Amino acid sequence: MVCVEELEKKVSNQTQEVERLRSQLGATDLEKQLELLLVENQRLKKELKSCKSTDAAAESCSHCSHSQVCCVTHMVEEEEPADAGRAVAELQKKNEDLLEQLHTQKQLQKDLQTQLHESQRICAQLRTQILVYEGEMARAQGQLEAEMQNLEEEKNRVIEEAFIRAESEMKAVHENLAGVRLNLLSLQPALRTLTLDYNLLKRQVQDFPFMLDQAITQAKQEICQVISEVSTTNQELLRKYKREMNLRKKCHNELVRLRGNIRVFCRVRPISQEEQDSVDARTMLSFDSDDDAVLYLSNKGRVMKFELDKVFPPPASQEEVFQEVQSLVTSCIDGFNVCIFAYGQTGSGKTYTMEGIEDNPGINQRALRLLFSEVLEKAPDWDYTITVSMVEIYNESLRNLLGDSLSDRLDIKMNPDGSGQLYVPGLTEFTVLSPEDINRVFELGHMNRATACTNLNEHSSRSHALLIITVSGYNTVTGSRTQGKLNLVDLAGSERIAKSGAEGNRLREAQCINKSLSALGDVINALRGKHSHVPFRNSRLTYLLQDSLSGDSKTLMMVQVRERLLGG
């Protein structure tokens, strides 16, 4: 019993110790250990309790067994001797069991005491640990306090510095403020002016839409007025322009009249390399550098002077030649008839001047292109139609170079409309609308001419080729009409073949050429001399060109010569 009381006391002490430790230590791991100790403590309490109850039972059992033994003895005295002996044995057995139980309980109590010692040892260890922890905590707290002290000092220092800095900044701000105040004072008048300006501008902005409306209305009125003035001026200018155009036409005609309706130009063909080497070259032409209308011919020591309207020396280009004839070309737009002849011996450059070569066209193509551009410029007031015919006169018969059959001979007849004009029934006329059309017409003409003869070069030397361009105009404003004709003629070679003793066809060709060329000469002479009778009917050529040679028609004879006249 003393042992149990001691255990109880120890347990109670241990509990108190545990509580004290718990209150001292808040650490989690210690708490866990204490938790375990508590559990152990509980378990020990329970075992102690059960130990107590076992002890009590054993004690009561020892009393009970004694009374039972007495009772059994009593019963044995009273009962039969055999039964009594059995009962005693049973009771002795029970008594032995109980004694064994008691022994077991004592052993258990001993174990518990061992455990209790172990717990006490652990408690002592824990206490030591707690002391160590407390020492560490005290050290840590010392460090913490020292750190706190440092921090406090640092804080005070920083505050001190910040305060000093703030003071100096404050001082600077005060100074700035004073400056700003001064500035503000000086700016006040400017601010007042600005405010006034601002108010003024504000009023103007408010008034702006109204002013804008007014300005737009005024501008509209002014524009309308200007437009009407411009329109009136335009009308006036148009009227003046028309008057000027008429004047220009009159001046142009007057100029042409003064120059004479018949002009003679001379173009000298440069000599080729072969001709240069020719030993027969014997005649020389020379020019007057001050007068482009004079040509000198030196032959056998004699120098002859020829005066013409214009002389083109060998270097003269196709363009230069055309510039001199283009006023004649354009006059057919105004309704004049024009004839341009290329006259000269075979090889003197007639075809070169009229047709030109592929990359350097002559008068024919340039004239058509110029007419196109001129009539385009006059649109839309004028509506023009340009038609083209190509004719060849060979042995005094007319061939339609743009027709289907070259063997058909054309005739020249009086127009049945009673106008007294001549016309050629069956002559093909192509309306050309573009420069491409011109090329097509020329190609067709050349092709027809080439297929009709065995040697085109020879044939072209012995026939006249005519390109007849008719320009018909209609004025869409006035309703007036004009018609002009431009005849571009590449004449047959002018050499006197008849004198060289040609016979047969060549003789007939030569006679025809001579006849038509002298007829042309006669007509030009008669026209120049203003004769009352002009012999147009003496050749097909002059008869065909009658309209274009008479009246106020203009004629240009381009005399082609070679720079050196070859012998023979």
Contacts (Cβ under 8 Å, ≥6 apart) of 439: none
- Residue 350 C-beta: closest distance to ligand ATP, Å: 4
Query: Which residues within the stretch 208-247 sit at the binding site for ligand ATP (CB under 6 A)?
Result: none
- Three-class HEC string of 439-501: HHHHHHHHHHHHHCCCCHHHHHHCCEEEEEEEEEEEECCCCCEEEEEEEEEECCCCCCHHHHC
Which C-beta is closer to ligand ATP: that of 193 or that of 505?
Answer: 505
Which C-beta is closer to ligand ATP: that of 68 or that of 318?
Answer: 318
- Residue 540 C-beta: closest distance to ligand ATP, Å: 18
State yes or no: 405 annotated in a binding site. no
State yes or no: 115 annotated in a binding site. no
Contacts (Cβ under 8 Å, ≥6 apart) of 120: 10, 14
Where are the strands (E) in 275-368, listed by range? Answer: 283-288, 291-299, 302-307, 310-312, 338-344, 356-357, 360-361
Which C-beta is closer to ligand ATP: that of 548 or that of 560?
Answer: 560
476 — phi, psi (to 5°)?
-70, -15
State yes or no: 349 annotated in a binding site. yes
Q: Do residues 490 and 362 touch, judged by C-beta distance below 8 A? A: no
Q: Is 349 in the site for ligand ATP (CB under 6 A)?
A: yes
Residue 457 neighbours by CB distance under 10 Å: 10
Query: For ligand ATP, which residue has the nearest CB?
Result: 349
**Cα 4 from Cα 47, distance rounded (Å):** 11
**Residues 93-132, mask of contacts with ligand ATP (x by CB under 6 A):** ----------------------------------------
**Cα 533 from Cα 69, distance rounded (Å):** 205
The correct pick among 15, 68, 346, 387 for binding ligand ATP (CB under 6 A) is 346
Applying CB under 6 A, the site for ligand ATP has a residue count of: 15
Contacts (Cβ under 8 Å, ≥6 apart) of 563: 268, 269, 270, 271, 284, 285, 314
The correct pick among 18, 328, 344, 364 for binding ligand ATP (CB under 6 A) is 344
Q: Do residues 7 and 116 touch, judged by C-beta distance below 8 A? A: yes
**Bond prior to 380 in cis (omega within 30° of 0):** yes
Look-up of token digits 């003496």: 538
Which C-beta is closer to ligand ATP: that of 389 or that of 461?
Answer: 461
400 — phi, psi (to 5°)?
-85, 105
Q: Which tokens is 304 given?
A: 């002859």
Q: Is 449 in the site for ligand ATP (CB under 6 A)?
A: no
Which C-beta is closer to ligand ATP: that of 540 or that of 562?
Answer: 562
Helix axes 81-259, 28-78, angle to 10 degrees: 160
Q: Do residues 354 and 342 touch, judged by C-beta distance below 8 A? A: yes
State yes or no: 350 annotated in a binding site. yes
- Residue 338 C-beta: closest distance to ligand ATP, Å: 21
Which C-beta is closer to ligand ATP: that of 262 or that of 561?
Answer: 561
* Closest to 266 measured CA to CA, from 299, 296, 308, 303: 308
- Residue 446 C-beta: closest distance to ligand ATP, Å: 13
Q: Is 562 in the site for ligand ATP (CB under 6 A)?
A: no
State yes or no: 142 annotated in a binding site. no
- Residue 500 C-beta: closest distance to ligand ATP, Å: 16
The correct pick among 54, 119, 331, 348 for binding ligand ATP (CB under 6 A) is 348
Angle (CA) 154 155 158, round 5°: 85
State yes or no: 202 annotated in a binding site. no
The correct pick among 261, 463, 546, 560 for binding ligand ATP (CB under 6 A) is 560
Q: Is 464 in the site for ligand ATP (CB under 6 A)?
A: no
**Residues 147-186, mask of contacts with ligand ATP (x by CB under 6 A):** ----------------------------------------
Which C-beta is closer to ligand ATP: that of 268 or that of 523?
Answer: 268
State yes or no: 345 annotated in a binding site. yes
Q: Using the rule CB under 6 A, give the single segment among 41-49, 213-221, 349-357, 547-555 that binds ligand ATP.
A: 349-357
- Residue 264 C-beta: closest distance to ligand ATP, Å: 17
State yes or no: 348 annotated in a binding site. yes
Q: 3: part of which helix (H) or strand (E)?
A: helix 2-24
- Residue 410 C-beta: closest distance to ligand ATP, Å: 22
**Cα 66 from Cα 73, distance rounded (Å):** 10
Where are the strands (E) in 138-282, listed by range? Answer: 262-269
Instruction: Report the Cα–Cα distance between both ends of the chain, in Å, rounded.
Output: 184
* Closest to 387 measured CA to CA, from 422, 428, 426: 428
- Residue 352 C-beta: closest distance to ligand ATP, Å: 3
349 — phi, psi (to 5°)?
105, 20
Q: Using the rule CB under 6 A, give the single segment among 4-12, 108-116, 455-463, 551-559 that binds ligand ATP.
A: 455-463
User: Cα Rg for the chain, rounded, in angstroms?
Assistant: 74
DSSP label at 311?
Answer: E
- Residue 450 C-beta: closest distance to ligand ATP, Å: 13
Q: Is 352 in the site for ligand ATP (CB under 6 A)?
A: yes
**Residues 60-99, mask of contacts with ligand ATP (x by CB under 6 A):** ----------------------------------------
Q: Using the rule CB under 6 A, give the single segment among 52-60, 173-181, 342-350, 478-486 that binds ligand ATP.
A: 342-350
Query: Which residues within the stretch 270-289 sit at the binding site for ligand ATP (CB under 6 A)?
Result: 270
Q: Is 362 in the site for ligand ATP (CB under 6 A)?
A: no
The correct pick among 266, 493, 542, 557 for binding ligand ATP (CB under 6 A) is 493
**Cα 426 from Cα 404, distance rounded (Å):** 11
In the annotated binding site for ATP, the residues are 344-351
In the annotated binding site, the residues are 344-351
Q: Residues in the site for ligand ATP, rule: CB under 6 A?
A: 269-270, 344, 346-352, 457, 460-461, 493, 560
